[in-house]
Structure 1
Amino acid sequence: MFATLKRAIRGETRDSGEENVTSRSMIVATLHQLKTEHELLSVRVPGCANTASSAILGVKEDQGCYYLDELNQRTTHKAFLSKRKAIINCRLQGMEVRIPCRLIKAGSDGGIALYKISIPNRIIRIQRREYFRLRLNAGLVVPVSVPHLEGRCAAGQAFDLSAGGVGAFIDTRDVPSRGQILTGVSIALPQSPAFKANIEVRFARADEVHHSLRIGGR
């Protein structure tokens, strides 16, 4: 599987290295994953000594924004309102992720502060996992077929691939549970025979914007 993927897709071979991600769909997918997996975010405001924690409450791709929960440090909260920019550092599926923040506006819900943040044009991912990760070239379509998803066959295409996992949009309304095993998943790489693998679901959610299931597995 690793050799087939490596031949078909351009990837990064270093165990650790920065990758600038500018694909909007991949940036939005990352934000959705951070929200779905309830990842803890470390937020630092320039000029502020204290680092605060937060989490993503929701992503509104059609509005070009997402929402952050209240920062747990009052000094950082005040600095964020003043500077209106910050850097988020977090981990996602074995990678470090760095996200620049631009505050659109701050509000509150039930007395708890929340922040409307512009979806950035670029994020940085730092490879620190054992698997060779492969970046899909622009315009490259990698069909994915799931023969047994809640008793039905479903198909879609990958947006992220590594030797240890896959992220894909699947055309279905069925949402599998985390930890569920999808058997016989077929991935068709350009100029290579399709291969099959059993995929353990790590996250899955209905994507209203793309009218499909956003799924990640290993």
Structure 2
Amino acid sequence: MQSTNDSDIESWHDFEVASRKEIIALLRSIGEKRQLVRMVIRRGTEVCVSAILDVDPDSNTLTLDGSADPEQHRRFANVGRMAFETSLDKIRILFSSEEVQATTFEDTPAFTIPIPETLIRLQRREFYRMVTPVSNPVSVVIRLAQDAGGGTHVFPLADISCGGIAILDNKLVLGNTIGHSYTGCRIDLPDVGAVQTTLMIRNSVDLTLLNDKTNRRLGCAFVDISRGGLASVQKYITKLERERNARLAGLA
């Protein structure tokens, strides 16, 4: 399961569910199927794995399993804002709360929060990664800080999703520090337009090519992409899917 933070939830308004009846049904299904729920605090620096124990519309409370570590349980109960991430039938579910309270449920430690007024439901297409075509490549322009050499550099993309991109850094310019962010990046989407966003490095893999040269693949998440930017990314992904399906149909 991918990591999440408040910026994820704030960026995906287009996938927001606001129907109370639907939210309650989703939460109950997550609990009945015993899906794990990741409780995330401090922008992802600490995570507690939990599960939904009860959904009570009458008292407007959602009860989740507590931490087995008493100290962690105490920290999570007093943290304030918390992000939650889970899945249901391969659909990613995100929500958050600023009213987390410690309680007990059937004599075991638990947390309660108000039933969220909204949540984010991401179908597979929203975070499915599409390989970008070599024939019409996608590039991202990144400006480096002065202590990293400065200047702007152009990098090709390996793939793209509504959650982020994979960059090919064959000159090893960017470094591979997990969590490092680059602001003011511009992704040029062919036939769609340019998208501005901050990119945060989430993973790094060094690849040895057939000519023994090293290429670095950096998985980067969108941090503050606008709703319009996200819509452009989705439009481009849909375009790639249509082109792929047309090629497959031609080969059938």
Give TM-score scaled by structure 2 length. Answer: 0.41
Greater Rg by CA = 2
Q: Flag the structure with higher strand content.
A: 1
Considering Cα pairs closer than 8 Å and 6+ residues apart, tell me whether 1 or 2 has the greater RCO: 1
